[in-house]
Each structure stands twice: as structure tokens, then as C-alpha cells.
Amino acid sequence: MNNLIIPSIWFDQNAKEAFDLYCGIFPNSQVTTSSPIVVEAVLNGVKFIGINGGPIFTPNPSISFMVICESKEEIDRIWNSLSATGGSTMMPLNTYPWSPYYGWLTDKYGVNWQLYLGKLSDTNQQAIVPTLMYCGEQQGNCEKAVAFYQQLFHDFRSNGIMKYVEGEYIGSIQHTQFLVKGFTLMAMDSGIQQDFTFNEGISLTILCKDQQEIDYFWNTITKSGKESMCGWCKDEFGVSWQIVPEQIATYLQRPGANEALMKMKKIIIQELIG
């Protein structure tokens, strides 16, 4: 799919190794570009970015990837492949109230995968869905965050909300799914206390068609969030976003463009192209 929101994973200089592994596990996958800093790939039909950023940030379960599988055999194959290459179990493969066959594991790179027996028609034919879990200091903020994303994305479309009906977090979001820029995302409040929350280990890149769109997303997200460098920012809930022009790869081929980018917070296209 030609997704305009691209999940970006921070690696400790082994993005190409990781994506080569994923391409051998997931169907319809290939590495499309590779450089010392950025690796781009299509995994199960969904575009991903890998960043060779060093040990500064590490992915954690606050953003995981829900893999929609239409057979138990597919789940078993992916599960066994990730487990055999250094993965560790978060929730074992089993029958759960939300799925007849489901499991959650962390791979050798710290990336979290939830394998779910379901129908691709329920996720707009998107086989891998980034899933935001509000936990730690963001526990209970899922509903507020989704309301913010509904205002942020003018094409926001909800595919339903399910709340906890018992337990400590009754009334909080157990699961919700929505589309933004034609891309499916899921979100939830954690059902138990966690000692982690969102960080730069997993970010979401928004491809913008022009400077006006960059300005809109940057200004709206950082109004109550935080600015960082090179197009990176955080919303008020701690989720990291990269706000970049669709033609960023082309612009960065121009002499002096990389140096200009390193001096920017919000990306100014005119300063990249000179």
C-alpha cells in the first residue's frame, strides 16, 4: 500500500539486518532502499522506515505492530520464525476473548509484534497495524489522544471503540481502531500498570504534500507537544511524529541539503532545495 503514514523504527546500527530478517518472514516484503542512516522496506505490503540511530532509543511495547493473519498456519509460521531468531513471549499463543488465536512477542531487536487471527477486510486490507498503548505516565489517556487525532486529521474515521467493563481501569479504552490518511491505526489503554511509555524508538512519519501541510501538522502537534530536530516532534501524549515532505529523499540529494536539515526543527522545504 502507498501509505502516507509510515511507521519508523529506531535501531542500533542494524536496521538492514532487521529488515532482511522481516522480509524473510513476512510475505509481500522487500527492502526498497538502504543507506548508512535510513533503510526503507515494504513489509507485508506496508511501508516501513528503519533508522540506524545508535543506542540512544530502544523500541518498547507502547507501540507494537498488530499482524492480521487469516489462518492459524500463518500465525504459527511467523511466530516460530520470530521466536527462533531470538524473540521472547509477552503473551503466549492461545485463545483469548478478542481472538480465537492470538499471541504477542518481542523480537531480538526489541520490536513488538501482536499476531491476530482475523480478517484483512476489517483493517482496510492492511496486514500490519501500528498499535499505540497508553501506559506509564500516559495511562488512561487513550480517549483524549484519539479525540486529538480526530481533530488533527481531517479525514479521521473511527472503526469503533471498546471499553473495559470491569477491573481497575473500567471505562478506559480496551481497544479502538481508526483510519487517518487512509492508514489504519489501533490504540488502547494498558490493562495493567507498566513502567514504560512512548519514546522515539517507534515514531510515525507523516508524508506531507507541501509546506502548508507541514506547517499545519507541525504547529498543531507542537501547540501542546514538543519540538525536536530534523522534522521530529512529540504530541502532548508523548507519541513521536516525523513531519516531512513527500519528496524528502529527492530534496536530500541536493548539495548542502543534509547540512541544512540538521539545523532545522520544523522542515522548511525552500531551505532544503536552496
Residues 22-65 pLDDT 10s = 999 999 999 999 999 999 999 999 999 999 999 999 999 999 99
CA 104 to chain centre: 16
CB 70 within 8 A of CB 27: no
Q: Tens digits of per-residue pLDDT, 134-179?
A: 999 999 999 999 999 999 999 999 999 999 999 899 999 999 999 9
For the chain, give every domain's residue range: 5-189, 209-273
* CA–centroid distance for 85 within its chain: 22
Q: Would you identify the CATH topology of the domain 5-189?
A: 2,3-Dihydroxybiphenyl 1,2-Dioxygenase; domain 1 (3.10.180)
pLDDT at 87 over 80: yes
Q: Are the C-beta atoms of 65 and 111 separated by less than 8 Å?
A: yes
Which range is least confidently modeled, 10-14, 96-100, 144-148, 265-269? 96-100
CATH class of 209-273: alpha beta
Q: Residue-wise over 121-160: b if at least 16 C-beta within 10 A, else e? A: eebeebbbbbbbbbbbebbebbbebbebbeebbeeeeeee
DSSP structure class, residue 151: H
Q: Does pLDDT of 218 surpass 90?
A: yes
What the block records as the C-alpha cell of 117 is: 487471527
The answer on pLDDT for 1 being more than 80 is: no
Indicate if 209-273 has the same CATH topology as 5-189.
yes
Distances (CA, A) of 150 to 57, 108, 146, 154, 200: 28, 34, 6, 7, 22
User: Confidence class of residue 4 from pLDDT cuts 50, 70 and 90?
Assistant: very high
Question: 256-269, pLDDT tens digit by residue?
Answer: 999 999 999 999 99
How confident is the model at residue 61, as a pLDDT? 98
> Model's pTM, two decimal places?
0.97
